[in-house]
Amino acid sequence: MIGLFIISVAAELTGVHPQTLRTYERKGLINPTRSAGGTRRYSQADVDRVRLIQTLTQDEGINLAGVMRILELQDRIEDLENELKVARAAVDDARREAARAHREASRHTSTEIVVWNPPAIEPAKRIRRY
């Protein structure tokens, strides 16, 4: 993420004091990028995250440790959603490749390839002993 805002602008956008942003950074709640000179640069995602932190602490009464756990879980969900997206794309690619291979194999044979499913076999009837 590209850092767009210096600390004073990010503080104004989020309605918090710049020291609050520094505290959030020290606690690991946000991680702004740094310029070559070491100046903090906040992205729009950082600003949105600070707003969420403020909502959780002020409106919901959650302490910073709870907020940290919520944000960790939210980040994990986002990571898993991205992994799922990649896995679904891989499955779609594999299906397309299987369909292509099936068409190719069908073209080179005189018969069509079909999937055979054997009929269900009835369970053996019990023999009564007297």
Per-residue pLDDT tens digits of the chain, which is 130 residues long:
566 999 999 999 999 999 999 999 999 999 999 988 989 999 999 999 999 999 999 999 999 999 999 999 999 999 999 999 999 999 999 999 999 998 888 887 766 667 777 887 776 666 666 5
In whole angstroms, give the CA distance from residue 77 to residue 86: 14
Quick one: pLDDT at residue 110? Answer: 62
Quick one: pLDDT at residue 52? Answer: 96
Three-class DSSP labels, 18-44: HHHHHHHHHCCCCCCEECCCCCEEECH
DSSP class of residue 120? P
Quick one: pLDDT at residue 123? Answer: 66
Quick one: pLDDT at residue 14? Answer: 96
In whole angstroms, give the CA distance from residue 41 to residue 49: 14
Quick one: pLDDT at residue 1? Answer: 58
DSSP class of residue 5? B
The four Cα atoms 75, 81, 86, 92 give a dihedral, to 10 degrees, of 180
Quick one: pLDDT at residue 121? Answer: 74
- What's the whole-model pTM score? 0.66
